[in-house]
Amino acid sequence: MANIPHQYTDYDSLDTITAEVCVIGSGCGGATLAYKLAEEGIDTVILEKGGYYPSSSFDNRELNQSGKVDAERGLTTSNDGSTYLTYGELVGGTSVHYWADSYRTPGDRLAQWHDQYGVAGHGAAQLAPIFDDIEKRLHVAEMEPFYYNRMNALFRDAVHALGWEGAPVKQARRGCAGSGHCMQGCAIGAKQSQLVTSVPAAMALGARVYADLRAEAFAFEGRRATQLTASVIDRRRNRPSGKQIVVKAKHFVVAAGGFNTPAFLLSQRRLREALPALGKHFGMNPTVFAHGLFPEPITLWRKPPACYGVEGFRLPRHDAAGNYVEGGYLLVPNQIQPGLMGYSVGGFDDGAADWMANLSHVGGATGWLDDCPDELGEIRVDPRGQRELAYPYGPTTQKMLRDLLKKIATVNFQAGATRVMLADLRRTELTSMDQLGAIDQIEVKPGNLFIAAPHPFGGCRMGQSARDSVTDSSHRVHGLDNLFVADPSVFPTGPSVDPSITIMGFSYIAAGHVAQALGQRLAPLPGA
Ligand SMILES: Cc1cc2nc3c(=O)[nH]c(=O)nc-3n(C[C@H](O)[C@H](O)[C@H](O)COP(=O)(O)OP(=O)(O)OC[C@H]3O[C@@H](n4cnc5c(N)ncnc54)[C@H](O)[C@@H]3O)c2cc1C
Ligand code: SF4
């Protein structure tokens, strides 16, 4: 039989799964960790509540694919409807949906996590050989000029003309055909998602993957989680089938992703009561868009996204009195398929229809905020166990968003756009850079501005004490000997760049601690 994940159709006669390590989630965090453990011969299982869809099942149709790769079709929002939560729910996790931009964590951010939040053993020196290994495994490289679509090229030239600090963005691809369907899942497996990298690599080394199986409740004895109950999801209806399976393991690792790990742990009463920081300090890189109408064809949905980016505004600038002046975000050319463009263009009137009718000439830019550490949000669960997400959009966050909107409008005009439209409810339109002041009038309030959240983090912050953090620096949940977290939930703040490489790097370190708890060591990496 082919080495593929187990699925709901296989579970009728299965009541118990046993393993040395049980990993919940098959994304960058979980699959990478499982691969590192399997490499050492550690008996590892992955539970994944989403379905298994091989690349060969992807049909490149945006609406079909959104049902497979985009959890809740990308339509789930924060409590007040202000923000679209985008993540994956399938074998391979969000990486099947992602753009594959691959940034190493900046040294200044790792130093800040160490100095301000007490994170140990995750410094630039520890991570350098790990990042080398990940980049080699995922074929991370700058894209050749051939792969730049018209918007990427116009954006790059505009950034040069504006004198901003930009650079080609390294990406995780191999044998890319330039189709532009990365967000819908790459049908030829060129995008180096976990579906085509760590998941099959871990399985080839003996790890077992159980798709359509949702982790639900731990049983605890003293300082240990002894077993986990999981529900089978009937993939045809995306609902629990009623059957449950018990997983018995020596160690459990939660890697259910930034939106779901805090919610899952909060649904465990013992943890909710013992860990006051659980769910707190949550961030999500609020992401905004400016669409531009160009005199020439752009065809925004072809070739890979974001080949070039602006890092010059990554860190915010403050005046002598400490007031925010500028920055705190990354900018890239936008890449959006027609369906998603449709729901980011506000309204149903002739003006909205006009933009959609000119779609082939619509380009744009996007950018996302490195969340302000003083204005973070919170994940909670309601009495039925449903996730709730509250994000305050505090005063500094609003200033940063307006500054970011001005930058993405500016780069559109510099690139040649004749009209720029912001993705707000009023569809604010500008016809020249002189009108950027109109952005100060845009209200950042629930539902008024199209804001997406592609990079959740926090909620299980790493630190030194159970008073203000959830895990210690070995990724172990405070107060328990055999429960670990390995995904961006442990980040004390955002990493200030796209997070996938940081998530995977942290999973290598977490795998070392889990192996150590089993009396084993990971083989040293070259250069370590
Ligand atoms: C559109 C988009 C573009 C992006 N582009 C980039 C990019 O270019 N570069 C970059 O670095 N990052 C990018 N990101 C972010 C990046 O993809 C994610 O941060 C990363 O993939 C998250 O990995 P993870 O392991 O933390 O979580 P996930 O990949 O979300 O994995 C968690 C898995 O756990 C499963 N799960 C959840 N709860 C349970 C449960 N109870 N039981 C069993 N399984 C469960 C989920 O179904 C999911 O498959 C992008 C994200 C999006 C949405
Ligand atoms: S652009 Fe390249 S990586 Fe993206 S879906 Fe097409 S072939 Fe795959």
The rounded percent of the chain whose pLDDT value lies above 70 is 100
From 260, 267, 506, give the residue whose CB has the most ligand 1 atoms within 8 Å, as the site to mutate.
260
Tell me, yes or no, whether 66 lies in a domain.
no
What Å distances lie between residue 24 and 50, 407, 466, 512, CA to CA?
A: 11, 39, 22, 17
Tell how far the Cα of 99 is from the centroid of ligand 2, in angstroms. Answer: 9
Q: Could you identify the atom of ligand 1 that is nearest to the CA of residue 99?
A: 8
Query: Quick one: which of 484, 19, 506, 117 has its CA closest to 271?
Result: 484
Are the beta carbons of 33 and 23 closer than 8 angstroms?
yes
d(CA 158, CA 408): 11
Tell how far the Cα of 469 is from the centroid of ligand 1, in angstroms. Answer: 22
Tell me, yes or no, whether 118 lies in a domain.
yes
Q: Which two tokens stand for residue 133?
A: 């290994």
Tell how far the Cα of 26 is from the centroid of ligand 1, in angstroms. Answer: 9
Tell me, yes or no, whether 97 lies in a domain.
no
Task: Please tell me the number of the ligand nearest to residue 189's CA.
Answer: 2
- Let me know whether 203 and 165 are in one domain: no
From 99, 181, 303, give the residue whose CB has the most ligand 2 atoms within 8 Å, as the site to mutate.
181
- 170-191 confidence digits (pLDDT tens): 999 999 999 999 999 999 999 9
Tell me, yes or no, whether 394 lies in a domain.
yes
From 96, 188, 336, give the residue whose CB has the most ligand 2 atoms within 8 Å, as the site to mutate.
188
Q: Which of 453, 480, 515 is the last residue in one of the domains?
A: 453
- Let me know whether 260 and 274 are in one domain: yes
- Let me know whether 172 and 223 are in one domain: no
Query: Quick one: which of 408, 332, 336 has its CA closest to 171?
Result: 332
Burial 311-344 (b: 16+ CB within 10 A, else e): bbbbebeeeeeeebebbbbbbbbbbbbebbbeeb
From 179, 301, 303, give the residue whose CB has the most ligand 2 atoms within 8 Å, as the site to mutate.
179
Task: Tell me the pairing of strands 166-168 and 140-142.
Answer: unpaired
- Let me know whether 199 and 300 are in one domain: no
The protein residue with its alpha carbon nearest to ligand 1, atom 26, reads: 257
Tell how far the Cα of 501 is from the centroid of ligand 1, in angstroms. Answer: 12
pLDDT, position 2 = 54
φ/ψ (deg, to 5) at 149: -80, 175
Q: Which of 427, 453, 479 is the last residue in one of the domains?
A: 453
- 291-313 confidence digits (pLDDT tens): 999 999 999 999 999 999 999 99
First to last CA, the chain: 38
d(CA 147, CA 317): 33
Are the beta carbons of 316 and 328 closer than 8 angstroms?
yes
Whether ligand 1 lies within 6 angstroms of the CB of 97 is answered as: yes
Tell how far the Cα of 491 is from the centroid of ligand 1, in angstroms. Answer: 15
pLDDT, position 244 = 98
- Let me know whether 45 and 152 are in one domain: no
pLDDT, position 124 = 98
- Let me know whether 45 and 82 are in one domain: no
* CATH code, domain with 274: 3.50.50.60
Whether ligand 1 lies within 6 angstroms of the CB of 215 is answered as: yes
The protein residue with its alpha carbon nearest to ligand 2, atom 4, reads: 182
- 26-63 confidence digits (pLDDT tens): 999 999 999 999 999 999 999 999 999 999 999 989 88
Tell me, yes or no, whether 67 lies in a domain.
no
Q: Which two tokens stand for residue 308?
A: 């070039």
The protein residue with its alpha carbon nearest to ligand 2, atom 6, reads: 179
Q: Which two tokens stand for residue 255?
A: 């890697």
Task: Please tell me the number of the ligand nearest to residue 185's CA.
Answer: 2
pLDDT tops 50 at residue 349: yes
Tell how far the Cα of 380 is from the centroid of ligand 1, in angstroms. Answer: 19
d(CA 144, CA 307): 9
Q: Which two tokens stand for residue 118?
A: 């007490």
Tell me, yes or no, whether 247 lies in a domain.
yes
- Let me know whether 296 and 370 are in one domain: yes
Domain range enclosing 113: 1-53+103-137+195-282+457-528
DSSP 63-117: HHHHHHHSGGGG--B-TTS--EE----BTTGGGGTS--B--PPPHHHHHHHHHHH
- 491-526 confidence digits (pLDDT tens): 999 999 999 999 999 999 999 999 999 999 888 887
Whether ligand 1 lies within 6 angstroms of the CB of 264 is answered as: yes
- Let me know whether 339 and 405 are in one domain: yes
Q: Could you identify the atom of ligand 2 that is nearest to the CA of residue 303?
A: 1
Q: Work out how many domains the chain is built from and give that number.
A: 2
The protein residue with its alpha carbon nearest to ligand 1, atom 37, reads: 256
Ligand 2 pocket: which residues have CB below 6 Å? 173, 176-182, 186, 188, 190-191, 304
d(CA 264, CA 363): 39
The protein residue with its alpha carbon nearest to ligand 1, atom 35, reads: 25
- 99-126 confidence digits (pLDDT tens): 999 999 999 999 999 999 999 999 999 9
Question: DSSP class of residue 40?
Answer: T
Tell how far the Cα of 303 is from the centroid of ligand 2, in angstroms. Answer: 7
Tell how far the Cα of 354 is from the centroid of ligand 1, in angstroms. Answer: 35
Question: Which position has the token pair 């390294």?
Answer: 170
Are the beta carbons of 274 and 44 closer than 8 angstroms?
no
- Let me know whether 130 and 160 are in one domain: no
Q: Rounded to the nearest 5 degrees, what angle is found at the Cα of 99, between the Cα atoms of 93 and 100?
A: 80
Q: Which amino acid is at 479?
A: G
Q: Which amino acid is at 358?
A: N
| Average pLDDT in the chain | 95
- 189-237 confidence digits (pLDDT tens): 999 999 999 999 999 999 999 999 999 999 999 999 999 999 999 999 9
Whether ligand 1 lies within 6 angstroms of the CB of 47 is answered as: yes
Tell how far the Cα of 289 is from the centroid of ligand 1, in angstroms. Answer: 21
Query: Quick one: which of 160, 200, 162, 262 has its CA closest to 55?
Result: 200
pLDDT, mean of residues 316-333 = 97
Whether ligand 1 lies within 6 angstroms of the CB of 458 is answered as: no
- Let me know whether 512 and 445 are in one domain: no
Sign (positive or negative) of CA dihedral 477, 483, 486, 489 = negative
Q: Which of 414, 438, 453 is the last residue in one of the domains?
A: 453
Tell how far the Cα of 242 is from the centroid of ligand 2, in angstroms. Answer: 38
Whether ligand 1 lies within 6 angstroms of the CB of 285 is answered as: no
Whether ligand 1 lies within 6 angstroms of the CB of 307 is answered as: no
Q: Which amino acid is at 141?
A: A
Q: Which amino acid is at 89?
A: E
Task: Tell me the pairing of strands 140-142 and 329-333.
Answer: unpaired
Tell how far the Cα of 383 is from the centroid of ligand 2, in angstroms. Answer: 42
Around Cβ 288, how many Cβ atoms within 10 Å? Answer: 25
Tell me, yes or no, whether 378 lies in a domain.
yes
Whether ligand 1 lies within 6 angstroms of the CB of 262 is answered as: no
DSSP 194-233: TTTTHHHHHHHTT-EEE-SEEEEEEEEETTEEEEEEEEEE
Question: Which position has the token pair 């890697």?
Answer: 255
pLDDT tops 90 at residue 443: no
Query: Quick one: which of 72, 68, 18, 9 has its CA closest to 43?
Result: 18
pLDDT tops 60 at residue 1: no
Q: Could you identify the atom of ligand 1 that is nearest to the CA of residue 47?
A: 43
- Let me know whether 295 and 258 are in one domain: no
Tell how far the Cα of 257 is from the centroid of ligand 2, in angstroms. Answer: 24
- Let me know whether 314 and 333 are in one domain: yes
Tell me, yes or no, whether 340 lies in a domain.
yes
* CATH code, domain with 158: 3.30.560
Task: Please tell me the number of the ligand nearest to residue 177's CA.
Answer: 2
